[in-house]
Amino acid sequence: MSRPKLSWSDLAGARVGIWGLGREGQASLRKLATLGAEPVLVDDRPADPVDGHQVLVTADGGLAALEACDAVVKTPGMSRSRPEMARLAAAGVPVAGGLGLWLAEADLRRVLVVTGTKGKSTTSSVTGHLIRGLGYRCMVGGNIGAPPYDPDAARGGEHSDFDYWVIEVSSYQATDLPCSPPVVAVTSLHPDHLDWHGGVEQYYRDKLSACSQPGAELTVANGDSDLLREHASLLGPRVEWVSEHDDPGSDWMTPLGLPGRHNRRNALIARRCLVAMDVPGAADDGRLRAAAVGYQSLPSRLTTVGEVAGVTFVDDSLATNVLPTLAALDAFPGRRIALIVGGHDRGIDYAPLAAGLLAREAPTYVLTLPDSGPRIRATLESVTKPAPTTTPTPAVTPTPAASMAPPGTGFAGVTDCPDLAAAVAAGFRWAQPDGLVLLSPAAPSFGHFKDYRDRGEAFARAVRALPT
């Protein structure tokens, strides 16, 4: 896989193609304007002109225009396995990603890359908060926020504006990195985005590639993940494993207010990275506890949105596969939970979700949503072998069915719901008088909502509409 070692400075005055006009593509356009470069804009499905520039269609003249460029900056969503990449390589046109261009000339000793299937956003935001609490200027960006090279980002684009950068890297972005900072964090590993990467093992290689690019020295990794330990050979020259059981009795992270054992581990990974980067004060429990004060959790990540008639409602809409949904259930031990799952069906295996639900001791009722909901229900029923169920109308109250599950489990049944509002209403009825309704879908929001935030907002609206 070609990852050209170009930097943004190398593109000054050049004719540069921008392939993909999403958030990163428009940031790239703004960056090129500061370099006096001539942009050529291309997108698979272009809309209106951008800043006065015509946007060409990839399949209708756009690829030919890119072949005539000195270099191409692609959006992360453009897979390097696409046939157009081979055409550009044959034409001698280097294809880079905006983040890779920035890393190529950054002071990597002051940069932390955070990746992982899930947990990377929370770990990135906690790390940035701790750095600021210790008295240093820090930009948290990449997949979680503004690209670090975007001139429109607050104080962005100039290395002198920050003391440290914490950059969240998706599996898409990782395929574009020509180098890595000395310290990389990996929060988790689980199958995801398999269609884009072309298979599960390729996804693992792409996701973990940031650990072994030139410059990488240490990977701070989730030691509780069997999959990560099985793929330790992809984690670079040296690995430090972090477990949720490390530092027992330590309470410096208490002011963060993050629920769940997985978030304890995320905080421990953040600290281990700061110590490895020699951030002053990171090794001092007292200073770190003071730095943790005031942390604001990210939206749709185990966020309590309200309480109605004794029932608590928690938004975990960002849980787009099985791993974070299991972590969400684990964050509320002993609580009676109505779990809302389902969304865009990517064909992932829901057997681990079924196993986790059956292992849970507290009462747990599952309410499924289209499109993947029926497949989730079928997976649960294949394990529990209940009597046939029917899809309820929104007014139907799900009937507890503890007899459906094997003895000794808290699994209380599963019901298909037509939409999110119906699931919220049904979950509310079942969870009374003191339970919890948890939106943790184990599926993306595509096709039903604009994004996970839109899904979380719809959840909050449905909660507000409930009778009190």
What's the length of the chain?
468
pLDDT in tens, 371-425: 999 999 999 988 876 444 444 444 444 544 333 444 346 899 999 999 999 999 9
pTM for this model (two decimals): 0.83
Whether the pLDDT of residue 325 is over 60: the answer is: yes
Return the percentage of the chain with pLDDT > 70, whole number.
92
Whether the pLDDT of residue 329 is over 80: the answer is: yes
CA angle 122, 125, 129 (to 5 degrees): 135
Residue appearing with tokens 């040296």: 238
Please count the other Cβ atoms lying within 10 Å of the Cβ belonging to residue 177.
25
Closest to 87 in 3D by CA, of 28, 12, 2, 13: 2
Helices and strands: H and E segment counts in the chain = 16, 17
Whether the pLDDT of residue 108 is over 90: the answer is: yes
What's the CA gap between 344 and 370, in Å, rounded?
7
Confidence of residue 49 (pLDDT cuts 50, 70, 90): confident
CB 352 within 8 A of CB 322: yes
CA angle 360, 226, 217 (to 5 degrees): 140
Whether the pLDDT of residue 193 is over 80: the answer is: no
- Averaged confidence pLDDT in the chain: 90
Biggest alpha carbon–alpha carbon distance for the chain: 71
Q: 168 pairs with which residues across the strands?
A: 114, 142
pLDDT at 446: 87
**Domains of the chain, each with CATH number or no CATH:** 8-98 (3.40.50.720), 106-292 (3.40.1190.10), 303-464 (3.90.190.20)
Alpha-helix runs per DSSP H in 104-257 = 120-133, 171-174, 194-197, 200-208, 226-230
